[in-house]
A and B are shown apart, each in its own frame.
Chain A
């Protein structure tokens, strides 16, 4: 699976958009970009995934660059409850398991 690089930590003001970057420069054509988050002492929570096109759901938006070498997860209006570790994962569609890296600790500040 392609390796991902994320900043170890980020802060965001409550109510503002949180933009979390992920670099996956070695991504292959059949690999999807997934985002999960893990709030302290809970199991990871699925957020969103995409292949080539930008995606949006009720939680977030995923922007994937045209060359697919990087992506950005956008939480449009961050709240204190969005404080968590955010994991960017690249996975072939056929793969079964998720390979987690170290993620980005997002802290939403009041």
Chain B
């Protein structure tokens, strides 16, 4: 257990529905990251927060995706109008700083869109 928690661990939804995932980072970490991992591939970066500010977004983060980190604590990732291609593991990580600081990952939320 790294101290980063994610909820839910699994989510099955029908195409077109909205889903929201939550990430609770390690409490003293002010950097938070979201990654997506599809089967057989390494994780891909989605977005990054420093405290409550979203400072970087990948081109993978389409308009249907939105992430927030109110008050610089937990973060949510929402996917609107889900598509089958959104089926993946969504991973959250946190770090004490950027640069050389290591990132600690949560267990992930596995999303299946039917």
Contact = CB atoms under 8 A, between A and B. Distances in A.
Interface residues of A, number: 21
Given A96-B48, A97-B33, A46 B100 contact: no
Contacts of A102: 41-42
B99 A98 contact: no
B91 A96 contact: no
Interface in A5-40: 32, 34
Interface in B34-79: 35, 41-45, 48, 55-56, 58
Q: Is the interface of A mostly helix, strand, loop or mixed?
A: loop
A110 interface: no
B25 interface: no
Given A42-B107, A43-B107, A44-B105, A98 B43 contact: yes
Given A44-B105, A96-B48, A101 B91 contact: no
A67 to B, nearest CB: 21
A42 B93 CA distance: 12
Contacts of B42: 85, 87, 100-103
Contacts of B35: 97-98
Contacts of A32: 100
Contacts of A45: 2, 105
A49 B102 contact: yes
Q: Which 10 A-B pairs have the closest CB atoms?
A: A100-B42, A43-B105, A97-B45, A46-B102, A93-B99, A44-B105, A96-B98, A100-B43, A96-B48, A93-B100
Given A43-B93, A45-B105, A97-B56, 5 more contacts: A42-B107, A43-B106, A95-B98, A97-B33, A98-B35
Interface of B: 2, 4, 31, 33, 35, 41-45, 48, 55-56, 58, 91, 93, 98-100, 102-108
Interface of A: 32, 34, 42-46, 49, 85, 87, 93-103
